[in-house]
Structure 1
Amino acid sequence: MEGTAMLRIPAFSVKAVVVILFLFSSAAAYSNCSKTIVVNQTNWRPYMYINDKGEMAGLDHELVKAILETAQCNYEFVQMPSKRALLELENGRIDMVAGASITPAREKYGRFTASYRDETMVLFIRRDQSGYFPAKDLDQLLNSYQLIMGAVIGAYYGAEYEALNHKQLSQRNQLVLLKDNHALLPLLLNYRVDLVVGDRVSLSFIANEMGIGGQVSVHDHVLNRDLVHFLLSRKSTTAEDVESINQAIKSFRSSASYKLIMSHYGLEDHPDKEEIQESANFL
């Protein structure tokens, strides 16, 4: 009586199959996004910068990593100025930027996530002139006192700043545009400009870092309070990528880890129910 033939699989083949299955399952477990997300690391202290050890650091740097890891998305950072990064994002060569405010122009080429923190835009003045220039808005402030304002090229400070006639202000020498706040703050102390517009946290951080925190003050008029988002390229990412990241933002913002990161930078989070929205509101 003939025995039933048995198929013998070599031991090395079994091991190979196990390894392949393990690698496949590991990759699948960490691939909630359609691709490795290329994120720009801009130079905007304390949100994103290179520290004394030559390492990428900053509040937004930490939040990007934590949120993308919560979303189980692979990522990598590149470094370039913010204005160029937006052009690269529009063309699909960069996938994501952090610290973005929603504007109609950006919505044409990008998808915004839910908010992951907020920001306040203010006007820094010299401390010895604190209270000198009462005004209900920025236009009145500039026209009534003929002040000179400094701002960063290409930065977004809210609707009130955008509504100004920038060309006219430049022609009247009332608007000075430079590449960053490190260049602007010394002009304030040297009486070359009378106001520096910017993010309150960033300006305070830089002023203290430069040793001039005691010589500047915040004007009473708050220029803009806004929510900030990640902006993803429509050309290189998908709506599903935004949805995965939105779910991660919602989860991470309610965690102790999020509060710890924020407190490390001297900040508290006050999310309203409207801040954490489903991606449908931004697509």
Structure 2
Amino acid sequence: MLRLAFVVLLIIGSFKVFACAKTLKVGTNERNWPPYVVAVNNNLTGVEIDVVNTIFNGSPFCLKFMLLPTSARAFEELKEGRIDVVFAASITSDRQSYAYFSDTYRDEIMRLYKYSDSPDINNLSDIFYRDLTLATGRGSYYGAAFAQFKQNHPAHVIMMPTADKRFAMLSKNRVDYAIEDEVAAQYFLNQHPSIELVTSMAAINKSSIHLMLSKKSINQAELQTINELIKQNKSNIHAIYQLL
């Protein structure tokens, strides 16, 4: 442990000496997920991009952002070590088998949204009993209760690659409900007046959010360095999210 701590301090102390000791490939599938990620001519902007850049600013790591078709594809690329980092990730036991998780850098609340004419429901089981449909992100994690619902009623869960496509489908009543991060959802509600929050249900899931790091390309010393970077930039990260 002392040796690892020494290595971490050595790396951190060398930030100004080595401009770019290692380039980390950062993958995401989101192209229109305001305020977190917005792609303009394949250049990524948004709050989450600002936070990731803030974490690694002045570090020995350079970043290369990569757009992928789905979050499931991003996780597969991470598993094989073809990308190094996925941001905005929740911890699951399956993901821990092939990835390290950084210390948390924000919290996330997932809520249920509906087409305006869809009925208010009290729990996910009502979707099955009323023969309704629910749009979710392919490869995304929404907590244990949703995982059980998806396993029991797969025909009622429509998996889609990105948030903007889920809300576009919901606004046209091609699905009855969708699950989304409450901050991002507010942007889509402003665009689609036919969509509203399901107020009769509590949040679908609340979880801490982390950087997900490939075990094939990131070592323990680098993980410790990244955690130290998050700690050092905590106030700057908080200030970015306070602007939302």
Structure 1 position 152 matched with structure 2 position 133: no
* Among 212, 217, 227, the residue aligned to 1:231: 212
User: CA-to-partner distance for each residue in 1:178-211, whole Å, 9 max, x for gaps?
Assistant: 2223222233233332111122222222343xx2
Aligned length: 226
Q: 1:58 aligns with which of 38, 43, 46?
A: 46
Aligned CA-pair RMSD: 2.4
Amino acid in structure 2 at the alignment position of 1:234: K
**What is the TM-score with the length of structure 1 in the denominator?**
0.71
Give the corresponding residue for 1:48.
37
Which stretch shows the higher mean deviation, 115-124 or 53-62? 53-62
Counterpart amino acid of residue 98 in structure 2:
Y
Q: What is the CA distance between 1:92 and its match in structure 2?
A: 1.1
Is residue 179 of structure 2 the alignment partner of residue 197 of structure 1?
A: yes
| Greater Rg over alpha carbons, structure | 1
Aligned to 1:218: 197
Q: 2 CA distance for matches of 1:71 and 1:198?
A: 33
Residues 132-181 of structure 1 show CA distances to partners (whole Å, capped at 9, x for unaligned) of 5341x322x323433221222222222111112447441xxx22222223
Q: Runs of 4+ in structure 1 displaced over 4 angstroms?
A: none
Measured against aligned partners, the alpha-carbon deviations of 1:108-130 in whole angstroms (never above 9, x if no partner) come to 1110000111111111013455x
Match of residue 186 from structure 1: 168
Task: Give the whole-Å Cα distance in 1 for the aligned partners of 2:223 and 2:103.
Answer: 9
Structure 1 residues 119-130: aligned runs within 5 Å: 119-127=108-116
Give the aligned partner of residue 98 of structure 2: 109
Instruction: Compute the displacement of 1:95 (Å).
Output: 0.8
Q: Which moved more, 1:61-70 or 1:147-156?
A: 147-156
The 8 Å contact of residues 189 and 196 in structure 2, kept in 1 or not, is answered as: no
Aligned to 1:138: 124
Over 3 Å counting, the alpha-carbon distance change for 1:250 and 1:26 in structure 2 is: closer
Equivalent residue runs for 1:242-261 within 5 Å: 242-253=223-234, 255=235, 257-261=236-240
Deviates more, 1:194-203 or 1:174-183: 174-183
Gap regions ≥5 residues in structure 1: 1-24, 267-283
Q: Secondary structure at the match of 1:43?
A: coil
Identity %: 27
* Aligned residue among 16, 20, 37 for 2:24: 37
Asked if 1:91 corresponds to 2:80, the answer is yes
Residues in 2 aligned to 1:55 and 1:249: alpha-carbon distance in whole angstroms? 24
Go from structure 1 to structure 2 and tell me whether the alpha carbon gap of 1:89 and 1:189 turns closer, same or farther (over 3 Å shift). closer
Higher strand proportion, which one? Answer: 2
Query: How many Å apart are 1:238 and its aligned residue?
Result: 0.7
**214-223 or 159-168, larger mean C-alpha shift:** 159-168
Structure 1 residues 233 and 263 mapped into 2: Cα distance closer, same or farther (>3 Å)? same
Given the superposition, is the C-alpha separation of residues 234 and 26 from structure 1 closer, same or farther in structure 2, using an over 3 Å criterion?
A: closer
What SS is found at the alignment partner of 1:114? coil
The residue type paired with residue 237 of structure 1 is: I
